[in-house]
Amino acid sequence: METAARTEPAAVIVGIDGPAGTGKSSTSKAVAAKLGLRYLDTGAQYRAITWWMLNNGIDVADPAAVASAADKPSIVSGTDPAAPAISVDGVDVSGPIRGQEVTSHVSAVSAVPEVRARITELQRAIAAAAERGIVVEGRDIGTTVLPHADLKVFLTASPEVRAARRNGELKGKEAVDLATTQAALARRDAADSGRTTAPLAKAEDAVEVDTSELTLEQVVECVVTLVEERQRDR
Ligand code: DC
């Protein structure tokens, strides 16, 4: 007996870029969970390689030293939006990569072309393995890592809103005043946007969403609708 051919929906690839404090992580995780997709936090990968450099005596201010060590750590990213995990050489580093030391050195490490080449290769392999699709968040996903993504979103927010959100995330752990957080974010933006290789940038065909006046639920709803539209139009 002949059976009707069943066509599985093609994997959908979503890239969400933007600077820190615009709601990228919360939005990306919620969109992936709602649509049954995998989730990848590429900032966590850059943080993980930075953590490894700092813990293995590499001078992170020396791009040549960073470049020659870029291939050494084994970085494994989990892609469950409900429990994103990241390990380096088998050690769970999800906690330590959020600390001040990593945060203040990650822009320098991630500007090194050999680091970007290594991490970009990991990202593309993870995206290719996601059967139903994936939401990938970062700075250069739409421009460099996945230029053929089905949907590219670029999130923005005012500097004041971004600093307030970032301070809220720190929850007293390492919290500082708003002006200090705002200045630190501005420094990281300048470094991430100003680097030569794959800087933070909006892809020409990305949809820009200013999240300053929106709740998380509204941003999630907006991105879910955009993904569904793209899926329908394919
Ligand atoms: O999203 P985050 O704050 O965890 O990212 C940490 C740093 O990693 C960010 O300041 C720049 C770098 N990064 C990058 O260069 N490219 C990406 N795709 C993601 C992050």
Q: For residues 15 and 22, is the Cβ–Cβ distance under 8 A?
A: no
Atom of ligand 1 nearest to the CA of 50: 8
The SS3 of residue 110 is helix
pLDDT at residue number 168: 83
116 lines ligand 1 (CB under 6 A): no
Residue type, 177: D
Residue 41: strand pairing partners: 137
Predicted pLDDT of residue 233: 87
How is the chain split into domains, by residue range? 12-233
| pLDDT for res 167 | 87
Mean pLDDT per 10-residue segment, the chain (234 residues): 60 96 96 98 98 98 98 98 97 96 96 98 98 97 98 97 87 75 93 93 97 97 97 86
Question: For residue 10, what pLDDT is reported?
Answer: 84
Q: Atom 13 (ligand 1): residue with closest C-alpha?
A: 43
**Which residue's C-alpha comes closest to atom 14 of ligand 1?**
139
- The residue whose CB lies within 8 Å of the most ligand 1 atoms, and thus the one to mutate among 106, 114, 141, is 106
The pLDDT value recorded for residue 174 is 62
Q: What angle do CA 169, 86, 108 make, to 5 degrees?
A: 70
pLDDT for the residue numbered 7: 63
| DSSP, residue by residue, 19-32 | -TTSSHHHHHHHHH
Decide whether any atom of ligand 1 lies within 6 Å of the 108 Cβ: no
Name the pTM for this structure.
0.94
104-153-217 Cα angle (round to 5)? 90
- The response to whether residue 139 sits with its C-beta less than 6 Å from ligand 1 reads yes
Regarding the beta carbon of 150 and ligand 1, being less than 6 Å apart is answered no
Nearest CA to ligand 1 atom 4: 43
CATH architecture of 12-233: 3-Layer(aba) Sandwich (3.40)
For CA atoms 105, 19, 135, 15, the dihedral sign is negative
pLDDT at 169: 78
Is the minimum distance from the CB of 140 to ligand 1 under 6 angstroms? yes
Instruction: Please report the atom of ligand 1 found closest to the CA of residue 42.
Output: 19
Q: Which atom of ligand 1 is nearest to the CA of 140?
A: 18
pLDDT value for 234: 81
Site to probe by mutation for ligand 1, drawn from 17, 42, 98 as the one with most ligand atoms within 8 Å of Cβ, is 42
Q: Is any ligand 1 atom within 6 A of the Cβ of residue 17? A: no
For 135, phi and psi rounded to 5 degrees?
-105, 120
